[in-house]
Amino acid sequence: MTSVLQAQALGKRYGKRWALRECTVDIPAGHVVGLVGPNGAGKTTLLKLAGGQLEPTTGDITVLGGRPGSTPAQLARVGFVAQDTPLYAALTVAEHLRLGARLNPRWDAALARERSGQLGLDPSHRAGKLSGGERAQLALTLGLAKRPELLIMDEPVASLDPLARREFLHRLTEATAEHKLSVVLSSHLVSDLEKVCDYLIVLVDSRVRVAGEVDRLLATHHRLTGSLHAF
Ligand code: ATP
């Protein structure tokens, strides 16, 4: 089976500082993968390497069996929702959907309309006026409508209150089951990820501390929930 993410001794250095080092993982496709770690652990760096936005300093990475960002076709297979959801404050919800349709050859207009309707997003509302939760949901909708095989999301719930966090993660679980896509998302908190993800990568100080299926990790690392001190 194709791996969603395969890394071999992957490393990224900025000047003298290693943001990620010796990262070796192999995760079968179809998983919802959580990437957890404290500030500066290297989460964004790993996600950008997977999205093809950065080149490795050392080692190799493949995503869905291909080199990240190596061709337009490979790029179209992977959706990337950056940490500060890339919405345009002056554009309305409807304009974001139209823009998505123009920019993405695989765009699913029916899915985008249906999802934003279900979420109760007013098509005439400007993105700048949406709540944090609504912005996150719109960014997820735009990511799904691109019909990627893998959706990467960098800390999508970091700035949300507990209610909006729960709602977002619930919608994400529904969407991954319905669209059968692989997902990699990051967070500072295991508690955000343990119910949504079936695979976890724990990054501490630029290195993978532990990686594996959530059930197995929870069974062997009793204090995993809500805390990284177990590592
Ligand atoms: P956070 O949770 O705060 O977003 P993170 O786990 O996503 O952190 P990264 O953003 O990957 O961590 O950063 C890892 C390390 O690399 C940090 O020490 C950061 O300061 C450094 N770093 C990241 N990007 C750059 C850059 N463009 N130039 C120099 N150093 C960088």
- CA distances for 26 relative to 5, 23, 62, 138, 188, angstroms: 6, 10, 10, 31, 22
Signed CA dihedral, 92, 93, 99, 102: sign only = negative
Q: What was the pLDDT predicted at 222?
A: 60
In this prediction, residues 13-25 reach a mean pLDDT of 96
pLDDT digits (tens, 9 = 90+) for 50-71: 999 999 999 999 999 999 999 9
| Token digits of residue 130 | 């949406």
Ligand 1 mean position, distance from CA 46 (Å): 10
pLDDT digits (tens, 9 = 90+) for 162-186: 999 999 999 999 998 888 889 999 9
Lay out the sheet containing 17-28: strands in order across.
17-28, 3-14, 58-63
Indicate which residue's Cα is closest to atom 18 of ligand 1.
40
Q: How far is the CA of 43 from the centre of ligand 1 (A)?
A: 8
Looking at residue 224, its pLDDT comes to 57
For residue 127, what is the DSSP state? G
The CA-atom distances, in angstroms, between 64 and each of 137, 148, 182, 218, 223 are 25, 11, 9, 27, 32
86 alpha carbon – ligand 1 mean position (Å)? 19
pLDDT tens-digit readout, 97-143: 999 999 998 899 999 999 998 888 999 999 999 999 999 999 999 99
Which residue has 């007013």 as its token pair? 122
- Average pLDDT, rounded, for the chain: 91
Predicted local confidence at residue 194, as pLDDT: 87
For residue 12, which atom of ligand 1 is closest to its CA? 16
Expressed in angstroms and rounded, the spacing between residue 99 Cα and the centre of ligand 1 is 30
Please state at what angle helix 132-145 crosses helix 162-179, rounded to 10 degrees. Answer: 10
| Cβ atoms 189, 196 nearer than 8 A | no
Confidence at residue 57, expressed as pLDDT on a 0 to 100 scale: 98
Ligand 1 probe mutation, 44, 185, 192, 208, most atoms within 8 A of CB: 44
pTM above 0.90, yes or no: yes
Q: What is the pLDDT of residue 143?
A: 93
- Report CA(28)–ligand 1 centroid distance (Å): 27
Q: Is 14 in the pocket of ligand 1 (CB under 6 A)?
A: yes
Nearest atom in ligand 1 to 83's CA: 4
The reply to whether ligand 1 has any atom less than 6 angstroms from the CB of 6 is no
Nearest CA to 47 out of 65, 74, 69, 70 is that of 69
Ligand 1 centroid to residue 9 C-alpha, Å: 19
pLDDT tier for residue 228 given thresholds of 50, 70 and 90: low
Q: How much is the pLDDT for 100?
A: 94
